[in-house]
Amino acid sequence: MLLLGMVAVCGGFLWAAWRAEIRLADGLPAVWEGRDVVLRGRVADLPQRMEEGVRFGFRVEVVEPAEGDSVPQVPENIQLSWYRPRPRTAEAAPVEGDGEGGEVEEEVMPARAGELWRLKVRLKRPHGFVNPNGFDYEAWLLQRGIRATGYVRTSADNHLLAADGGGFLAWVHGLRGEVRDRFLATLPEAPYAGVLVALVVGDQRAIPNAQWDVFRNTGLTHLVAISGMHVSLFALLAGGALGLAWRRLPWLALRLPARKAAAVAALAGGVAYGLLAGLGLPVQRALVMLAVLAVAWMLGREVAPSRVLALALFSVLLADPWAVLAPGFWLSFGAVATILLVASGRLGGKRGGWREATRLQLGITLTLLPALLALFQSFSVVAPLANAVAIPAISFLVTPLALLAAAVPVDALLHMAHWLMAITMIPVDWLAASPWALWQQAVPPLPLIVAGTAATAVLLLPRGAGGKLAAVAVLLALLSWRPPRPQEGEFWLTVLDLGNGLSVHLQTARHDLLYDAGPPYGPAADAGSRVVLPYLTGLGVQRLDLLLLSHDDMDHIGGAEAVLAGMRVEAAMASETLPLLATAGLPVSRCETGTNWSWDGVVFEVLHPQPGHAPARRNNDDSCVLRVRGAGGSALLVGDIEARAEAALVGRLGDALASELIVVAHHGSRSSSTARFVDSVLPEAALFSSGYRNPYGHPHPAVWARWQEAGARNWRTDEQGGLIARMGREGLAVEAVRALRPRYWHGR
């Protein structure tokens, strides 16, 4: 048996490796990045409408020859953005890891699934931000088979070749789009219209961020994400309805027993709903289980539920080895395994009734706790109560009504579904508003997560089973775990990978400082919410002692509002008057020379600007320059200062500017890092925060070479991910996250 298990595991790894090799081979050669390519292909999925345009999957059918009659090698599946025209400014930061920056000037044209288009596009290889505890955008693209991203260019070549076609799946996506558009048009101002769209067609993009916060705080995201339970309930209704009608028609029942007809109807109904919902991971799992049960039911055989779940697990991984990268894989299969364990009666107690339902909900909450901490660094304390309210209402009332409204275009049905959803959300909103609704902590180490998962299994055993005190001790250790911090007199500095902007986290033994908060990524996203807050939460930081904003440029303060809203901030500092700080309701001090303080044996000193200075013509030279000095050396953070401010610093401080580490000014722009300044600092390490293929050419090759020639080892976020510098008593050590956590799909 052990040998068979080892063979199965090795076979699984070989299968996944072979699939990975095939998928990675279908890539965009580096030589074709950033070059115009004319393609013919079809819109391959439900287009995503955004304020700035539309984004859609594109299946390439023909690649037209480029200059010199060469035919570019373009992946079959790509993701394109088609932008409305917008003015470009020096402050606008390209959106990376969630779209493309660049010359986005073409007016948006309609795009529906199945349409055949001829488009001039500009592509790049998959690339996303890589930070500690951050979202892996490149893994997300790989799992979906998207091997290049890009945007549509202005061209007379862009035109629609055919409005329909593309096969059955394109027709399904077109139907999903029609349902979505009708729902949103019928409920234009309704707060939960996006939720109803998500429940029916699986498109969650119309749900506001504030509602996502409520669902996360109450543990209800699984309901909005088309859970397998919705598919199973719909299949049960379809099978039950047809079985009841079948029994009343003797001439049909004689040909095919009602039991078998009901099984076929249940499977057909589940598949239909799954297709309409977009076939997410929980839906795939539910459909495989439903298919096995339907076949067994038709053959008159009983199949152990555990075997059904195991077959579903095997089938999902066989079809998609990258499913393990999705949080839904672990949460979906983990929840169903718990349900089967509880429903089997092995946990003791009487079966059925509200007590078993309560025990089931508590069991699921307990079982998923380690996984939730590992994946999201949080879990909902009020989830059992919220689910007790929301599951019956949403699963048995709201979802069936919304599905009926999708099939029968009667507006009253949709309004009724929305009214029920609004009523359901009243107690849910109250629970979400509780200050103790969500438990947040740092990501535990893998051994502790595994031990915690085993401990939850022990706690679910019948009362007589031993080891429960040890299991409770393990869970307490899991919930109380805190990551290491610097020792007294030491500090750690992390430059986050967030595109062409800047955000630096400084840690001492008991204090945390955030220097800048990164750029905006469009009307509804920014580095604060997408990168900075997840990073800080994953590190276990629950408050910032100081938020220092170097100057009033959007690539430095674009994420500050999200940070202020999402985390407790004790005080702020800036070199300019910033409205967002003035309304934040916290102490704000002026960043100017002479401001000094000490935390845990580490000295912080402001070197620029001087008190009463006249505002610079370009506010880059107003940037707050901060020196941090610990027992093992110092670091210099200089914002976006340019030649004028650098000359003033050299003239005033000279060689006293010398530091072991510098976060290079203005992302490596040639307007900064003058030769005299570089020769005065002479660092061991120079850290560049720059965006991948940014339109500004940062870092400039001459600046890069200048720091190298001064003896520094250069590091850059666009190629190496987040940069972690530890200034200990023995000196400086710098590491890059991409090197610390290599993945075979990164940079491919």
Main-chain phi, psi angles of 47, to 5 degrees: -60, 145
Cα atoms in the 13 Å half-sphere on the side-chain side of 103: 9
Name the nearest CA neighbour of 612 among 594, 634, 632, 638: 594
638: its two tokens: 């200089």
**How far is the C-alpha of 343 from the C-alpha of 269, rounded, in Å?**
25
Q: Does 618 have pLDDT greater than 80?
A: no
Number of C-beta neighbours around residue 51 at 10 A: 8
For the segment 662-676, the average pLDDT, to the nearest whole number, is 96
DSSP SS3 for 518: strand
pLDDT of residue 59: 94
pLDDT of residue 91: 42
For the segment 662-688, the average pLDDT, to the nearest whole number, is 96
Comparison of pLDDT for 175 and 99, the residue scoring more? 175
User: In which residue are the tokens 């955030």 written?
Assistant: 514
Q: Does 660 have pLDDT greater than 70?
A: yes
User: Do the first three CATH levels of 26-165 and 491-740 match, i.e. the same topology?
Assistant: no
Q: State the virtual CA torsion across 151, 156, 158, 164 in degrees, nearest 10.
A: 170
Comparison of pLDDT for 195 and 170, the residue scoring more? 195
Q: Does 336 have pLDDT greater than 80?
A: yes
pLDDT, tens digit (0-9, with 9 covering 90-100), for 212-244: 999 999 999 888 876 677 788 888 888 888 888
Comparison of pLDDT for 660 and 293, the residue scoring more? 660
**How far is the C-alpha of 551 from the C-alpha of 639, rounded, in Å?**
8
The answer to which of 155-169, 188-202, 533-547, 696-710 has the lowest mean pLDDT is 155-169
- Residue 692's alpha-carbon distances to 100, 151, 236, 351, 645, in angstroms, are 10, 15, 49, 57, 27
**How far is the C-alpha of 226 from the C-alpha of 222, rounded, in Å?**
7
Q: Does 593 have pLDDT greater than 80?
A: yes
pLDDT of residue 467: 85
Cα atoms in the 13 Å half-sphere on the side-chain side of 68: 2
pLDDT, tens digit (0-9, with 9 covering 90-100), for 101-111: 444 444 556 67
488: its two tokens: 């007294």
Name the nearest CA neighbour of 78 among 32, 134, 15: 32
Q: Which long-range contacts does 327-333 make (Cβ < 8 Å, 24+ apart)? A: 327/371, 327/375, 327/376, 328/225, 328/280, 328/281, 328/282, 329/281, 330/371, 330/375, 331/222, 331/368, 331/371, 331/372, 331/375, 332/227, 332/228, 332/281, 332/282, 332/285, 333/285, 333/309
Q: Does 296 have pLDDT greater than 50?
A: yes
The answer to which of 347-356, 552-561, 584-593, 595-604 has the lowest mean pLDDT is 347-356
Which residues sit opposite 625 in a β-bridge? Answer: 608
For the segment 267-275, the average pLDDT, to the nearest whole number, is 90
Q: Does 743 have pLDDT greater than 50?
A: yes
Domain regions of the chain by residue span: 26-165, 167-219+391-438, 320-381+444-482, 491-740
680: its two tokens: 């005065």
pLDDT of residue 95: 43
Of the pLDDT bands very low, low, confident and very high (cuts 50, 70, 90), residue 709 is very high
pLDDT of residue 301: 79
pLDDT of residue 90: 40
pLDDT of residue 109: 67
pLDDT, tens digit (0-9, with 9 covering 90-100), for 358-417: 778 888 888 999 999 999 999 999 999 999 999 899 988 999 999 999 989 899 999 999
Q: Which residues contact 211 (CB under 8 A, 6 or more apart)?
A: 191, 192, 194, 195
pLDDT of residue 69: 65
Q: Does 613 have pLDDT greater than 80?
A: no
The answer to which of 352-356, 382-386, 597-601 has the lowest mean pLDDT is 352-356
- The rounded Cα 521 to chain-centroid distance in angstroms is 14
Comparison of pLDDT for 519 and 170, the residue scoring more? 519
**How far is the C-alpha of 717 from the C-alpha of 578, rounded, in Å?**
27
**How far is the C-alpha of 349 from the C-alpha of 246, rounded, in Å?**
38
| % of the chain surpassing 70 pLDDT | 93
Q: Does 457 have pLDDT greater than 60?
A: yes
Of the pLDDT bands very low, low, confident and very high (cuts 50, 70, 90), residue 18 is very high
Q: Where are the beta strands (DSSP E) in 105-166?
A: 116-124, 149-152, 159-162
Residues in the chain: 748
Name the nearest CA neighbour of 57 among 139, 130, 128, 115: 115
DSSP SS3 for 56: strand
Number of C-beta neighbours around residue 589 at 10 A: 13
Q: Does 89 have pLDDT greater than 70?
A: no
pLDDT of residue 39: 95
For the segment 265-281, the average pLDDT, to the nearest whole number, is 87
Name the nearest CA neighbour of 534 among 202, 195, 216: 216
The H or E element that residue 588 is part of is: strand 588-590
User: In which residue are the tokens 């349409």 written?
Assistant: 115
**468-480 and 446-459 helices cross at what angle (nearest 10)?**
140
pLDDT of residue 641: 96
pLDDT of residue 99: 41
**How far is the C-alpha of 385 from the C-alpha of 358, rounded, in Å?**
9
The verdict on domain 491-740 having CATH code 3.40.50.2000 is no
Q: Does 573 have pLDDT greater than 70?
A: yes
Across 214-223, b (16+ Cβ under 10 Å) vs e yields bbbbbbbbbb
**How far is the C-alpha of 139 from the C-alpha of 409, rounded, in Å?**
39
pLDDT, tens digit (0-9, with 9 covering 90-100), for 515-526: 999 999 988 789
Question: What is the gyration radius of the CA atoms in the chain, in angstroms?
Answer: 28
Q: Which fold does the domain 26-165 belong to in CATH?
A: OB fold (Dihydrolipoamide Acetyltransferase, E2P) (2.40.50)
User: In which residue are the tokens 């099939």 written?
Assistant: 407
DSSP SS3 for 227: coil
Indicate the DSSP class of residue 529.
I
Number of C-beta neighbours around residue 68 at 10 A: 5
pLDDT of residue 110: 64
Of the pLDDT bands very low, low, confident and very high (cuts 50, 70, 90), residue 670 is very high
- Residue 463's alpha-carbon distances to 336, 355, 472, 525, 600, in angstroms, are 22, 16, 14, 49, 49
Mean of pLDDT over the chain: 88
Of the pLDDT bands very low, low, confident and very high (cuts 50, 70, 90), residue 50 is confident
**How far is the C-alpha of 494 from the C-alpha of 486, rounded, in Å?**
13
